[in-house]
Structure 1
Amino acid sequence: MKRWFYVLLALFIYFIVVGVLTLLESNVDESNIKSFSDALWYSIVTLTTVGYGDLYPVTPLGKIVGLLIIISSVGVLGYVIGEIMAKINDYMEKKKQGYFGTDFTGHYVMIGWNNFGRSVAQQILNTGKKLAIVVDSKEQLDLIKSNFETDKCFVLYSDIQNYDVFKKVNIEKAKSIFVNLSDDTDTLVFILNLKKKYSNLSFIATCKNASLKDTFMSAGVNYVVPQAEVASRLVASYIFEPQVAEYTEDLMSSSKSDLESDIQQYRILDSNEFANKEYLKIFYEIKERFNAVTIGMVSGKDLIKNPDNNHLVKAGDYLILISSGKVKSQLEKFFGVLEGQ
């Protein structure tokens, strides 16, 4: 309110000065400022530093008024440029912080950031998927921006306890939500509160205490990954079957080169030739065409490991297979979808 008061006061003084200049110059024969509009034109040309020179004061007092206008033009121009720069900087800062939101759809949302989250984000982005990350620290915001300069990664800096802000990451159109908070209790409470507002979301969470896995599942988390449990299994595997463990670790990560392999899943569309076909026939065809190995499938919400030979694969099912990065683009073209759900 104060700002508008000062703006109106400045405009009032400005028009008084223009009026005074009109009175001083309009009745002088040698002057070319004959009306208020002439004086207004002169003041605007002077204030904007254009200086056409078509109109100018000739009386001593008129020149003094003109000098005041010239001097004030420096301040006015500086103020205008400063305001413009402030608006631009404010816009750029808001854009950096994700204030204007994203139109991502079919993407993934990560809430919270740490070294573990960084590894997860890298794997998701390696597959070409879109990822929106929500953090409550500017330091984390800058860190993510410096590590993931890509149009497939959107970052929102906000208070994560304000559940309305998640509309800015288009959370209702996301495929799944990965809650990556540092404390198990905070994670559980956060998910319970978020599910009250967005009940149809699919949640994935990690927990440090493996005994809490059932509690997380009861709270509506779709998939729970106890970090220590997964790590201990891999370490144990390295101890007595190191080559198997090495291969498993390789498959767990997204392939970044043609030589690397990973586990992928592809949805069977209605138009795909594998729809309503027996699993064993699909197994051989995928091996022959793409040198990839089918190891299972998903039907509805059921994971079927090593299905029976005559199991019928239907449209809407997902095939799970092992392939190299070299044939990934061929597989996506054949299935007509990107890997993943």
Structure 2
Amino acid sequence: MKKKLIFFIAALLYVSAILSIQWFESQSANGNIKSVGDAFWYAIVTLTTVGYGDFYPVTIPGKIIGLLVIIGSLGLLGFIIGEVTVRFNRYMEKKKNGFWGTDFENHYIIIGWNEFGKKVANQIILADQKVAFVTNSKADLELIDDLYTSKETFCLFADYSNMEAYAKVNIAQSKRVFVNFKEDSETLVFVINLKKQYPTANVVVTCSNPSLKETFINAGIDHVIAKNEVASKLVASYLFEPHVAAYTEDLIATSVADEDSDIQQFLIKEDCEFADYEYLDAFMKLKKDFNAILIGLVQDGKVLKNPDKKITIQSGDYLILITGGQSRKILENFFGVHQGE
């Protein structure tokens, strides 16, 4: 408020000086600043340091006041440039911090940043999906900004407990939210509060303690992954069936090269050719036309592993396929959706 008052007084004095020059110069027969417009033109040319020289004071009082206007113009110009710079820097800082939000839709949100979250994000981005990050660390904000482009990611700097802030990552329009905290207790308290604020959010978490898995599910979390359980199963598989384990690891990773394999799911839209297809017919067509293997079906929210060959595929179902890296774009064009949708 004080700064605005000082600026107002300075501007008032500046305008008064300009009007005074016009008055003194208009009284002289040799003066060329005859009107208020001439005086302001002289002040503007002086302020911008252009100095055309078409208007200038010739009277002693006009020259004295003109000198004050010149000195005042330097201060006013410096003030204006400084204010513009400060406001621009503030805007850019808010933009960098994600203050203005994102228009991402059907994207994924990762709350909490660490090396594990980075690996999860890399898999999602390799699948041509967008990711919004939320972090409470400026250092992580800088790191994320260096690692990814703004086309594929968005990052919000915020206090994790500020539930209103998650609207800026468009959580209501996201596909899934991965809560990536170190401590299980912190994760549990957070997701309870998050689900209260955003009950439709599809939340995925990992937990270190498998005994807490049921507790997380009861808290309304859609998918809970116990890290130790998954790791132990994969290690055991490597011990007695290493080739199967290697193939499994390849399948659950996003395919990059043409020779990579990947498990993908595709939504059956109403206009999809497979709507009302029998499962076996779809299996044969996928293998013949796309070299993709149909291994399962999601119907009414339930995963049907290798279902009966005569089961009918309906719109709204998901097909689960094993594909090669070269088939993803072709299949996305055929189904009319991105994988995972």
TM above 0.5, one fold? yes
| SS of the residue 1:298 aligns to | strand
Q: Is 1:293 matched with 2:263?
A: no
* Cα distance in 1, alignment partners of residues 36 and 309 from structure 2: 94
Kindly report which structure 2 residues correspond to 1:68-107, keeping only aligned pairs within 5 A, or say none: 68-107=68-107
Structure 1 residues not aligned, in runs of 5+: none
Structure 1 residue 47: Cα displacement: 1.2
Matches within 5 A, 1:267-282: 267-282=267-282
The residue aligned with 1:109 is: 109
2:315 partner amino acid: A
1:32 match: secondary structure: coil
CA distance in 2: counterparts of 1:48 and 1:314, whole angstroms: 71
Give 1:88-167 correspondences, 5 Å limit: 88-167=88-167
CA deviation string 1:117-138 (max 9, x = no partner): 1011111111111211111111
Q: Partners in 2 of 1:61 and 1:8 — Cα distance?
A: 25
Separation in 1, partners of 2:280, 2:114: 43
Change (3 A) 1:288 1:37: closer
Q: Is the Cα–Cα contact under 8 Å of residues 141 and 155 in structure 2 kept in the other structure?
A: yes
CA distance in 1, matches of 2:37, 2:283: 86
Instruction: State the SS of the aligned residue for 1:133.
Output: strand
Offset, 1:300: 1.8
Tell me the alpha carbon deviations over residues 214-256 of structure 1, each in whole angstroms, 9 at most, x when there is no partner: 0000101111011122112111211221111111111111011
2:311 is matched with 311
Match of 1:221 in 2: 221
Residue 145 of structure 1 and its aligned partner are, at CA, apart by 0.9
* Corresponding residue number in structure 2 for 1:331: 331
Moved over 6 A (4+): none
Deviation at 1:150, TM superposition (A): 4.1
Task: Map 1:113-262 onto structure 2 (within 5 A).
Answer: 113-262=113-262
Q: What code does the residue aligned with 1:230 have? A: V
**Bigger shift: residues 283-292 or 26-35:** 26-35
Shift of 1:72: 2.4
Contact 2:14 2:72 in 1 (8 A): no
Amino acid at match of 1:97: N
How many aligned residue pairs are there? 341
C-alpha distance in 1 between matches for 2:57 and 2:150: 58
Q: Distance in 2 between matches of 1:105 and 1:293?
A: 30
Is 1:19 aligned to residue 22 of structure 2? Answer: no
Shift of 1:75: 2.2
What is the one-letter code of the residue matched to 1:43? A
Alpha-carbon shift at residue 21 of structure 1 (Å): 2.1
Q: What SS is found at the alignment partner of 1:277?
A: coil
- Whole-angstrom distance in 2 between the partners of 1:323 and 1:3: 65
Q: Report how far residue 41 of structure 1 moved.
A: 2.6
Separation in 2 of the partners of 1:260 and 1:202?
Answer: 29
Percent identity reads 50
- Tell whether 2:67 aligns with 1:60: no
Q: Conserved in 1, the CA contact under 8 Å of 2:259 and 2:325?
A: yes
Match of 2:323, SS?
A: strand
Give the distance between the partners of 1:130 and 1:336, measured in 2 at CA: 18
Letter in 2 for 1:256: V
Say which is worse superposed, 24-33 or 168-177, in terms of deviation. Answer: 24-33
**Aligned partners of 2:30 and 2:337: how far apart in 1?**
81
What displacement does 1:338 show? Answer: 0.9
Superposed CA offset, 1:148-195 (max 9, x none): 114121111111211111111111111111111111111111111111
1:45 aligns with 2:45: yes
Letter in 2 for 1:121: A
The worse-fitting range, judged by mean Cα deviation, of 68-77 and 288-297 is: 68-77
Deviates more, 1:28-37 or 1:174-183: 28-37
Q: Is the 8 A contact 2:176 2:202 kept in 1?
A: yes
Once the two structures are TM-superposed, the CA of residue 68 in structure 1 deviates from its matched residue by 2.0
RMSD: 1.4
Cα gap change, 1:306 to 1:56, in 2 (>3 Å): same
Q: Counterpart amino acid of 1:99?
A: F
Which string of whole-angstrom CA distances, capped at 9 and with x for unpartnered residues, describes residues 281-309 of structure 1?
21121111111111111112101111112
Structure 2: 5+ residue runs without aligned partners?
none
Q: Which amino acid aligns with 2:162?
A: N
Amino acid paired to 1:237: S
Partners in 2 of 1:6 and 1:268 — Cα distance? 66
Alignment-derived partner of residue 320 in structure 1? 320
Residue identity in the other structure for 1:152: E
